[in-house]
Amino acid sequence: MQNFHEHKLWQESFVALMDMHEALDSVEVEGREGDIVARVLDAGQKVSAKIADALSRTDRRMTRNLIFDSVGLVAVARTELAVAWGRGLLPDDTFKALDTKCADLSTSLQVYK
């Protein structure tokens, strides 16, 4: 098993996940808004976990397939962030910063060799 913690891709995803936590930890939510926050954080965690899984594989083809799967998960995370923003849970500048970080991660994943 490879050490994914030291890989730039995983670190980039982890920083984005921690930024999501930081942005949403201070949001006071009720009812369904709590579900939105949970979905955002879950989506971010799944991105990091999928990247960790990919980078832990010794089979390069499997690694590449899992990296491509991660791109789709980033799209899910960006969509969940947009829902949180649309529901007023994130200010414009915070949403833009998080979305940009996710877009950059998606690009990094797509050019990974």
Residue with tokens 């590449």, as numbered in its chain? 64
pLDDT digits (tens, 9 = 90+) for 62-84: 999 999 999 999 999 999 999 99
4-110 topology per CATH = de novo design (two linked rop proteins) (1.20.1440)
- Greater model confidence, 16 or 31: 16
Among the listed residues 40, 20, 25, the one whose alpha carbon sits nearest the alpha carbon of residue 101: 20
pLDDT digits (tens, 9 = 90+) for 21-51: 999 998 888 888 999 999 999 999 999 999 9
pLDDT score of 25: 92
pLDDT band at residue 2 under the 50/70/90 scheme: low
Note the pTM of the prediction, 2 decimals: 0.93
pLDDT digits (tens, 9 = 90+) for 92-112: 999 999 999 999 999 999 999
CA distances to 5, 46, 74, 97 from 78, rounded to whole Å, are 23, 12, 6, 11
pLDDT score of 40: 97
pLDDT score of 3: 87
- Phi/psi region, residue 88 (left: phi>0; alpha: psi -120 to 50; beta: rest), is left
Q: How far apart are the first and last CA of the chain?
A: 19
